[in-house]
A and B are shown apart, each in its own frame.
Chain A
Amino acid sequence: MTETTFREALTDTLHQEMARDENVIVMGEDVVGGTGNPHVEPDFVGGVFGVTAGLYTKFGVERCIDMPISEAGIVGTAAGAALAGKRPVAEIMFCDFMGLCLDQLMNQAAKFRYMFGGKATCPMVLRTTYGAGMNAASQHSQSLHPLVTMIPGLKVVIPSTPADAKGLLTTAIRDDDPVIFFEHKTLYTISGDVPDGDHTVPFGKARIVSEGEDCTLVATGRMVSFCENAAQALSEDGISCDIIDPRTTSPLDEDAILDSVEKTGRLVVVDETPPRCSFACDVAALAASEVFSSLKAPIKQVTAPHSPVPFAKELEAAYVPSPAKIKDIVEQTVNYK
């Protein structure tokens, strides 16, 4: 184990996988940085969030490729290269920009294996950032994992710790299907113990973050630590929670969620997206249909409101589900009569 930041865990993983398999290539806007400048050596940027740092120097221009601002082109190029045997890891700087490349994801990459009768694979990873917290306003702050989770043929990953960042990215790169890998922008600087060497985390296997008796909390990404904060405060009032981090929204570890709800009899789902047709809805519906008779209280969802992400500090703070709000809703659920 080595204490590592979330960002370093991702960078190290890219280095490891590129060293292990020469078919792994990285592409995106400013993933090298400085390319074409007559005055500088490239590679001092390594992605605007610094995740691809050093790859160009180590693996060269053929395997770490700066791209123009052409999201559809980038993702299409990745999908095509994947069909032809490469394992591209494409970076889309903010998941909001998936708007520009959704066709290549949902009509192309997602469909090949099925549509071609199982005779094709598309082993690509699309790494992207998501979430509010930087006052980056409506076009740079969305959490769009539900949008891709609903598309058969895509796998969707949302790590919440440095160790999972490494384990899940390794699995994503080695997976034969298209994977959308969501990195919360506010998590890059968190640190934690990360296993050295080869570390994989299987898709569809939740992490049990903490165990308790009274209520099940389900959350991904940044919301996991918000749940931990809320649970900490609740424990002082004698309320204990199971916190479940599914880690992948597709495939989804339904058993982990259902087993926990059967045990606690209560479910609160926390997610940073607006409420309609969301991941929170999906988990709530799963529990309602499968373990209805175990429920002692209505299932609750703590989500962002049905609005775009606002700019002003006060507005963004009100938009994002807070630990205080999570605590409140859990208390209401536990006290439901």
Chain B
Amino acid sequence: MQLAREELQQAYRQMKTIREFEERLHKEIATGVIPGFTHLYAGQESVAVGVCENLTNDDYITSTHRGHGHCIAKGCDVIGMMKEVYGKADGLCKGKGGSMHVADMDVGMLGANGIVGGGPPLATGAALAAKLDKKGGVAVSFGGDGSCNQGPVFEAMNIAAILKLPSVYVYENNRYSEHTHSSYVIASESIASRVEGFGIHTVKANGFDFFEVHEVMKELITKAREGNGPCAVEFETTRFYGHFEGDPQNYRAPTELEDDRENNDCLKIFRSKVSEAGLLADEDLDNIDNEVLALIDDAVEQAQNSPAPTPDDVTTDVYVSY
């Protein structure tokens, strides 16, 4: 653990922000005020934050349908995101995209993505641009265990490998794609062992531990930045909520969620590690908790009170009109 105090605080703040964003949405969605499909990221925070704390605004990420965590970790404005999830005119995407399509080009966040496997080819393209720009930029794609079975994902990794692009393919294995267990749909021993076949340096790591994620990613991203070609990583992780909000999750073992909340909660693990090592005081962490809760309250209130888009907005940003 060689992180400075400020870096630890920042990491915790980011993870906590994602957690509270999702916990709050879980409650708000149950009231029926939020339209569409929402897939919550709670439980996986250490992955998004452990990855993105190694990136700058000049680096790129692509995301998934479960994108809120990636967006926050990459620096998207939390209030603008909340407004977008509510479908408001001043949301990050003006209410056009919603939860599944939050994006912010200014911070290198190339979009949450409703198409499973849609992101990795785009990350490959962003990595090509970064390579041509010669400023040391990298592109990281996030994908679930389910995404590793899409043909375009294979193609993207192979292209990155032959062109030696500065990209990193992150697989978040949370055991399920919708209701199906990853052990059924992935024939190889692991995602990592399959990806190695593309000639890409690949590791498998514990995604519950922010520090492990951060360290692994530091090594992989540095490698990619320095022109050694793409890397990949499979993180073991878990989601605390259903595939989408409303999923009864009756396909999970009776105590699985309880166990995960008890033993695999990345925020708890982070807190106990920094406390034991005397790196941050409980008080510091509690203060961050309070700041985050206030931020989320503010975001929800602003989102509720923001103006809705108007019918005229339907046909803006489509290049041509008929």
**A residues neighboring B (CB under 8 Å):** 29-30, 33-40, 44-45, 48, 66-73, 96-97, 99-100, 134-140, 275-276, 305-308, 310-316, 318-319
Contacts of A71 in B (CB 8 A): 150
A71 CA to B177 CA, complexed, in Å: 14
Q: Least Cβ distance of B178 to chain A in Å? A: 5
- Closest beta carbon of chain A to B261's beta carbon, Å: 17
Known: A70-B151, A72-B151. A311 touches B320 (CB 8 A): no
Across the interface, do B181 and A315 meet the contact criterion of CB distance under 8 Å? no
Q: Are B314 and A135 in contact (CB under 8 A)?
A: no
Number of A-B contacts (CB under 8 A): 164
The residue from A29, A40, A139, A305 contacting B178, defined by CB atoms under 8 A apart: A29
Which residues in B have their C-beta under 8 angstroms from that of A40? 250-251
- Give the Cβ gap from A273 to chain B, nearest Cβ, in Å: 13
Select from chain A the residue with minimum beta-carbon distance to B152: A100
A217 to chain B, nearest CB (A): 22
Knowing A138-B114, A310-B95, A314-B308, the reply to whether A39 touches B253 (Cβ < 8 A) is: yes
Q: How far is the CA of A37 from the CA of B251 in the complex (A)?
A: 7
Report B100-122 CB contacts with A as 1/0, cut-off 8 Å. 11000000000001111100000
Contact B251 A69 (CB under 8 A): no
> Mostly helix, strand, loop or mixed at chain B's interface?
loop
Whether the pair B309, A314 counts as a contact (CB closer than 8 A) is yes
Q: Tell me the nearest residue of chain A to B182, going by C-beta.
A: A36
The answer to whether B95 and A36 have CB atoms under 8 Å apart is no
Q: A33-B178, A314-B87, A315-B313 are known contacts; what are 5 more A-B pairs with Cβ within 8 Å?
A: A29-B180, A37-B181, A37-B252, A99-B115, A139-B101
Q: Are B95 and A69 in contact (CB under 8 A)?
A: no
Q: A96: which B residues are within 8 A, CB to CB?
A: 114-115
Known: A38-B253, A137-B36, A307-B315. A312 touches B150 (CB 8 A): no
Which one of B70-78, B126-134, B164-172, B183-191 is at the interface? B183-191
Q: Is B97 an interface residue (CB 8 A)?
A: yes
Nearest-Cβ distance from residue B56 to partner chain A, whole angstroms = 29
Specify the chain A residue showing the minimal Cβ separation from B251: A34
Q: Which of B154-209 contact A (CB under 8 A)?
A: 177-186
Choice from B97, B115, B184, B322 contacting A100 with Cβ under 8 Å: B115
Contact B101 A138 (CB under 8 A): yes
- On whether the beta carbons of A73 and B322 are closer than 8 Å, the reply is no
Beyond A45-B179, A137-B36, A139-B115, whether A306 also contacts B322 by CB under 8 A is: yes
Collect the chain A residues with CB atoms within 8 Å of residue B95's CB: 310-312, 314-315
A304 to B159, CA, bound (A): 38
Q: Which of A29, A35, A306, A314 has a CB less than 8 Å from the CB of B315?
A: A306
A79 to chain B, nearest CB (A): 15
* In contact, B180 and A315 (Cβ under 8 angstroms): no
Taking CB atoms, residues of chain B closer than 8 Å to A306 are 315, 318, 320-322
Asked whether B309 lies within 8 Å of A69 as measured between CB atoms, the reply is: no
CA of A65 to CA of B122 in the docked complex: distance in angstroms?
A: 31
Contact (A35, B180) CB under 8 Å given A314-B310, A315-B96: yes
Let me know if B185 and A135 touch, CB within 8 A: no
Whether A138 contacts B97 by the Cβ 8 Å rule is yes
A45 to B311, CA, bound (A): 37
Contact A135 B115 (CB under 8 A): no
Q: How far is the CB of B144 from chain A (nearest CB, A)?
A: 9
State the Cβ distance, A303 to closest chain B Cβ, in Å: 10
How far in angstroms is the closest Cβ of chain A from B161? 21
* 24 A/B residue pairs, CB under 8 Å, sorted by A: A34-B179, A36-B180, A44-B251, A66-B180, A69-B116, A69-B117, A69-B146, A70-B151, A71-B150, A72-B151, A96-B114, A99-B115, A100-B150, A135-B35, A136-B37, A139-B113, A306-B315, A307-B314, A308-B96, A308-B318, A310-B309, A313-B35, A315-B313, A315-B314
